[in-house]
């Protein structure tokens, strides 16, 4: 949340796993030199993902987002944002298909985006299909608005992490496209302006007999 290489007055927030529960912890250098578990309603706060924007920490849980003020000695809950966008599927799926949903939040160029990755799968046949929904938060009207255009951005999703970059700065990336890898070692591209299933294109030459570890997306700063 602040650069420790430039100042000794910095803060760190992280999610960590504790008995299959993901908890939020906070560290402020020079205060107590120890980590503090963030507490909500008398209990340790359980979240799926976090991001930092405009001096606030945004934490996702069950399609809601808690906004924390971390400038005080102890984090204080400012507000809770409901995710109220109605998600309509692009295609009718067979009743035999199961599905799972991955949700995350990411800050990019001063804007907040909420990402839904829906994975549909048939266990006996291993057939998979994907849909992705992305909404941007309208701060002036305090609501989420579904997006069909990322305004030149590219999103990367893998291993419960999400990252956004400007495609202009990385010409190898396609704009308005989501690069993702699911938990079954499957890679793909999803183009927001195409109303169809995910467009699967190999990101590298894969050996189908090998299970590759999930990638970690890295933005070089040198």
What is the 3-state secondary structure of 53-91?
ECCEEEEEECCEEEEEECCCCCCEEEEEEECCCCCCCCC
What is the tens place of the pLDDT at every residue in 14-60?
888 878 778 888 887 766 667 888 878 777 777 888 888 888 889 88
To the question of pTM greater than 0.85 for the whole model, the response is: no
Rounded CA-CA distance 149/93 in Å is 25
Percent over 70 (pLDDT), the chain:
66
- 222 pLDDT higher than 50: no
What is the tens place of the pLDDT at every residue in 170-209?
888 888 888 887 655 567 777 776 545 444 555 555 565 6
């Amino acid at each position: 949340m602040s650069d420790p290489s430039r100042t000794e007055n910095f803060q760190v927030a992280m999610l960590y796993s504790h008995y299959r529960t993901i908890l939020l912890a906070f560290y402020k250098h020079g205060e107590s030199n120890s980590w503090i578990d963030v507490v909500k309603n008398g209990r340790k706060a359980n979240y799926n993902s976090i991001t930092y924007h405009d001096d606030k920490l945004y934490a996702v849980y069950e399609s809601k987002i808690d906004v924390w003020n971390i400038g005080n000695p102890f984090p204080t809950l400012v507000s809770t944002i409901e995710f109220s966008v109605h998600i309509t599927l692009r295609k009718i799926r067979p009743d035999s298909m199961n599905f799972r949903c991955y949700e995350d939040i990411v800050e990019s160029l001063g804007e907040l985006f909420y990402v839904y990755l829906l994975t549909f799968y048939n266990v006996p046949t291993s057939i998979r299909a994907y849909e992705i929904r992305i909404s941007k938060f309208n701060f002036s009207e305090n609501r989420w608005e579904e997006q069909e255009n990322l305004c030149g951005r590219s999103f990367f999703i893998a291993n419960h992490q999400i990252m956004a970059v400007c495609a202009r700065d990385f010409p190898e990336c396609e704009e308005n496209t989501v690069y993702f890898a699911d938990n079954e070692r499957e890679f793909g591209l999803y183009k927001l302006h195409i109303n169809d299933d995910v467009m699967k294109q190999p990101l590298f030459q894969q050996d189908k007999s090998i299970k590759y570890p999930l990638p970690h997306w890295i933005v070089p700063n040198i």
